[in-house]
Chain A
Amino acid sequence: MARIVGIDLGTTNSLIAYMEGSTPRVISGAAGGLVPSVVSFGPEGPVVGAEAKSHLITRADRTIYSIKRFMGKALEDVAPEDRAFIPFRLLEGPRGVIQVQVGGKLYTPAEISAFILIELKKRAEDYFKEEVSKAVITVPAYFNDAQRQATKDAGKMAGLDVLRILNEPTAASLAYGLQRKKEGIVAVYDFGGGTFDISILKIKEGIFEVLSTNGDTHLGGDDIDQRISTLLLGEMAQKHPIELRPEERQRLRLCVEQAKCELSSVDRAAFTLPLEGGGSFSREITRSELEGMIREIVDRTVGPCKEALADAGLSPRQVDEVVLVGGSTRIPLVRRRVEELFGKEPHSEMNPDEVVALGAAVQADILAGGISDMLLLDVTPLSLGIETMGGVVSKLIHRNSTIPTSAKEQFTTGVEGQSSVMIHVVQGERELAKDCRSLARFHLTGIDPMPAGIPKIEVNFLIDANGILNVSARELRTGKVQSIEVKPSYGLTDSEVEKMLEDSFKNARADMEQRLLIEARTEAQSVISHAEKIVIEGAHLVTQEELSEIKENLGELKVRVDTEDRHAIREALERLDRSAIGLSTALMNQAVESSLKRKKVSDL
C-alpha cells in the first residue's frame, strides 16, 4: 500500500504528519512543522504559509487567512460583524456559495484550501523524495456534510486522494491513546483558532468508541481576537476619531493576537498599534483584564460540553480524563474553566498544535494496514432528516449515531403519471426544515407512469465513515435502481469540482512554465556575468574572431534574458556557452599553470 499521510488543515495553522515505524511524526520545514494557513496572491503567483503570512499587512486585500471558517458555507451565514473585520472581499457565487475575490479572480474556499494542501503535499514529497497522493484530512467534529464535502473537494483539487475525513478531537484521542494505552472515559476539549469541539469517548481494548460529540464551528481564537479588537477600537475611538483601513485592521488583529498569546505566560503585556500619520495607540493589558474581555466567549464552550455529557448519559465526574487540544487551550482561563467543569485537571502533555496531525497519521496507518489493534468508531454530530408536509422534519438518523449508519425510507407519487419525486434532505436538531441546514435536494427521476401512490421507491440514506451522506434509490416492485439527480444546497456539484480540477491543472502548467522561465533567467544572469569577466581577463588568450563571436553571443543573450521566451533564452545561453569553451579552457590552463608555478616557488 502506498504511503498515506495525515493532514491537519487548521484555521490558523496546518500540519502534515506520517507514521515512522510505530511513532507518528510531523514533517518539519525550515521554520518548524506549522504551515500558517494563509494564501497570498502576489505578482509571482500564490504563496502559502510563513511567506504569505508576512504579506498579511502589506497585501491585506490579497492575502487570505482563516479560510476554514468559510468552508461549505453561504455568504448569508457570515455574520456582518465578521465581514467587517475581513480585509479581503467575499462575494456570493452560485447557490449562495462564498467566493473570495482577489484582483479579477474568484476562488471558492475549497480552492484556497487546496493551495494550502498543495504546499503541505510538496513538503511531504520533498521529505520522502517521492510522490505523495493519499491522505487523511481532519475536520472539526461538528462540521456538517457540506463542510466535510468542501474539505474533500479541496483535497481532490490539490491532487490528493482523500481516504478519510477524520474528526479532530477523535484524531487527538488516537494520538494520546497510542502513547498512553489507558482505558476509560475520555473527554477531548478541542478549542482551536476557529472552531470548538467536545467529544466523549470510551476507550476499551483498542476500540475508541465515540459516545457523543458537540461543538460550535464558529467559536475559536479568532473570536477572542475579534472581541479584544472591538473593545480596543472603542477605546481608541474615544481618543482619536479613526476609520481603520484594511491593512491597519489587520495590524490591529495581529497585535491583539500577539498580546493574547503573551498573556498566557505573563501577567501583563504591552500593546502598541502604529497609526496612520505617525502616531500610535499604546496601552498595557493585564491578564485579568484580558480574562474579563473574553470570559463570555470561553463560557460559550460550556453548553456544548454539558450537552455532550447528557447525550453520552454521563455526569462530569464519570469522565476519567480530559484532554486539551488546540491553541486556545493555552489560555489559563480556558484551563481553569475546563477543570471547574469536569472537576479534574486536564491533560496537555502532547503539543496541542500537533496532536491532531499526529492522530491523523495514526488513522492513516490503520487504513494502510499497519496498526491493526486500534479501531475508531466515530459518530455523526448532527441529525439527518427529510422535509415532510408543512415543512416539518422527519428525522431518519439521530445525532451521535455511530458511523457508518444508514436509514431507509419509502416514497411514492402524489398524482397520476408523476415521473419524479423531490426529496429535501436537511441536517440539524430543529423541528422545522427552514431552521435546519439544507444539505441537498434529490430528484428521483424516470419513474414509470402509474396511478398516484402505486410506485414504491425505497431510498437509502447512508452516512459513511467520513460523516458524508450517500443516497441511493430503487423502485421496490421492479428492483430497478432509480436515478437520482443531486442539487447540493451549498457547495459544489461534482461537475463543478471537475471543472476546477481542470483549471487547477491548467494553472499548474502555467505555474510550471513560470518556474522554468525564472530558472532559465537566473542561469542566464550567472552565465552573462561570468562571460563579461572572462572576455576582459582572457582577451589575449584567443583569436580576435573567437572573441568577437563570444561578444556577439553575449550581447544576444543579454537581450533575450528579459523576454518571456525561455526556449530562446536557453538557446542563446547554450550558444554563448559553446563559443566560450575555448576561452574558458585557456583561462583555466593559465590559472593551473600559475598555481603550479607558485607551488614550485614555494617548494624551493
Chain B
Amino acid sequence: MERRAVSEQVCWGCGAGTTGRIFCEVCQRIQPFPEHADYFSVLGLSRCMQIDPGDLEKRFHALSRRFHPDFFQNKSEREREISLSNSAALNRAYRTLRDPASRGAYLVSLVEGGSGQIPLKAPADLFEEILELQETLQEYRALQGTRPEREALGEKLVSVRADLQHRDQEFLQGLEKVFSQWDDLPEAHREAERGLVQTVKDLLSQRAYIGRVIHDIEQALGREG
C-alpha cells in the first residue's frame, strides 16, 4: 500500500532514492505527494470508478494515522509542513471519492480539465411536472395558517418530493452503471471515454437540478417545523 508516486524520486532529507514511497526507507522522513497527484493515487487506488466504501474508509483511516499533524508535533518544521499538506490532500481525496456524485464530477474534471462545476439541467421528461410544482409551491407559500386547502397542497408537495427522491435514487443507480462501464473499458479507448463522461455529466446535471427542487420543497414545508 505504500508504493505511490511521490514528487521527487529522491528523499528531500537524505537524498536516498524513494521509489515512490511516502516514507523514506533510509531516514524514515515523510515525503510530499506530487503536486498534481490525483485523488485515486493519494488513496493508493488505480483510476477505477467503482469503489467499495468500506475499503475506502479503511485506507483513509490507515493513511490518516500515518500523516496526521498530531503525530508530527516533535518533528522538524519541514516534516510538519509535509504532514499538513499530505493530510489536507488525503482529506479532500477521501471526501471527493466517498460520494458517488462528487466522484463522478471529479472524473469529469480529470478528463475534460476545468473546475468540475456541473451546470443544472432540468430532465426533459419532467418539464411539465416541474412547472406545475412551481405553481403549487407559490400557492402553498402564499396561504397562511392551517386552512384545509393549504394542508391538501402540503400533502401534494410531500408526494412530489417522494417521487423526486425516487428519481434521485435512479440517477445514482444510473451513475453506478456508467462507472462499471468505465471500469470495463479497454485501455485508452478515447472515443468511448468521452461518451461515458458525457453521460456522467448529463446524469449529474439532472440530479443537481432535482436536488435543488427537493431543497425548495423542504424549505417551504420546513417553515412550520
List residues 363-404 of chain A with CB under 8 A from any CB of chain B.
Answer: 366-369, 372, 375-377, 401-404
Proximity string of chain A (392-432) to chain B, C-beta cutoff 8 Å, 1 when within and 0 when not: 00000000011111110000000000000000000000000
C-alpha spacing A377/B73, complex, angstroms: 16
Proximity string of chain B (58-99) to chain A, C-beta cutoff 8 Å, 1 when within and 0 when not: 000100110011110110000000001101110110110000
CB < 8 Å neighbour of A1 from B74, B84, B91: B74
Knowing A402-B95, A406-B92, say if A368 contacts B84 (CB, 8 Å): no
- 9 contacts across the A-B interface (CB closer than 8 A): A367-B70, A369-B71, A372-B71, A375-B68, A405-B92, A406-B89, A406-B92, A407-B92, A462-B85
Interface of B is mostly: helix
A-B complex: 7 closest residue pairs judged by Cβ atoms: A402-B91, A406-B88, A404-B88, A367-B73, A404-B87, A207-B61, A465-B69
CB < 8 Å neighbour of B65 from A163, A369, A375: A375
The bracket for how many chain A residues form the interface is 20 to 34
Closest to B84 in A: A404
Knowing A205-B61, A207-B61, A207-B64, say if A163 contacts B88 (CB, 8 Å): no
Q: Hey, which bits of chain B sit against chain A, CB under 8 A?
A: 57, 61, 64-65, 68-71, 73-74, 84-85, 87-89, 91-92, 94-95
- Smallest beta-carbon distance B36→chain A, Å: 11
Knowing A207-B64, A375-B64, say if A404 contacts B70 (CB, 8 Å): no
User: Is there an interface contact between A465 and B91, defined as CB atoms closer than 8 Å?
Assistant: no
- Smallest beta-carbon distance A160→chain B, Å: 15
User: Is there an interface contact between B73 and A368, defined as CB atoms closer than 8 Å?
Assistant: yes
List residues 327-382 of chain A with CB under 8 A from any CB of chain B.
Answer: 366-369, 372, 375-377
CB < 8 Å neighbour of B69 from A205, A368, A407, A464: A464
Query: Is there a chain B Cβ closer than 8 Å to A89's Cβ?
Result: no
C-alpha spacing A344/B174, complex, angstroms: 37
- Smallest beta-carbon distance B85→chain A, Å: 7
C-alpha spacing A405/B69, complex, angstroms: 12
Knowing A207-B64, A404-B69, say if A462 contacts B91 (CB, 8 Å): no
Query: Is there a chain B Cβ closer than 8 Å to A204's Cβ?
Result: yes
Residues in A with CB closer than 8 Å to B84 are 404, 462, 464-465
User: Is there an interface contact between B95 and A163, defined as CB atoms closer than 8 Å?
Assistant: no
- Smallest beta-carbon distance A268→chain B, Å: 32
Closest to B86 in A: A404
- Smallest beta-carbon distance A298→chain B, Å: 14
CB < 8 Å neighbour of A375 from B57, B70, B73, B89: B70
C-alpha spacing A1/B70, complex, angstroms: 14
Residues in A with CB closer than 8 Å to B85 are 406, 462
Query: Which residue of B65, B73, B74, B89 has the most chain A CB atoms within 10 A of its CB atom?
Result: B73
Given contacts A205-B61, A465-B84, 16 further A-B pairs with CB under 8 A are A1-B74, A163-B73, A207-B61, A207-B65, A367-B70, A369-B71, A369-B73, A375-B65, A376-B70, A377-B68, A402-B94, A403-B91, A404-B84, A407-B92, A462-B84, A465-B70
- Smallest beta-carbon distance A297→chain B, Å: 16
User: Is there an interface contact between B91 and A369, defined as CB atoms closer than 8 Å?
Assistant: no
Residues in B with CB closer than 8 Å to A407 are 92
CB < 8 Å neighbour of A366 from B61, B70, B95: B70
Residues in B with CB closer than 8 Å to A368 are 73
Closest to B225 in A: A302
Residues in B with CB closer than 8 Å to A405 are 88, 91-92
Residues in A with CB closer than 8 Å to B65 are 207, 375
Query: Which residue of B57, B61, B74 has the most chain A CB atoms within 10 A of its CB atom?
Result: B61
- Smallest beta-carbon distance B186→chain A, Å: 34
Residues in A with CB closer than 8 Å to B64 are 207, 375, 377
Residues in B with CB closer than 8 Å to A403 are 91
C-alpha spacing A15/B96, complex, angstroms: 39
List residues 460-519 of chain A with CB under 8 A from any CB of chain B.
Answer: 462, 464-465
- Smallest beta-carbon distance B221→chain A, Å: 13
Closest to A374 in B: B70
- Smallest beta-carbon distance A430→chain B, Å: 14
C-alpha spacing A464/B91, complex, angstroms: 12
Residues in A with CB closer than 8 Å to B71 are 369, 372
User: Is there an interface contact between A401 and B70, defined as CB atoms closer than 8 Å?
Assistant: no
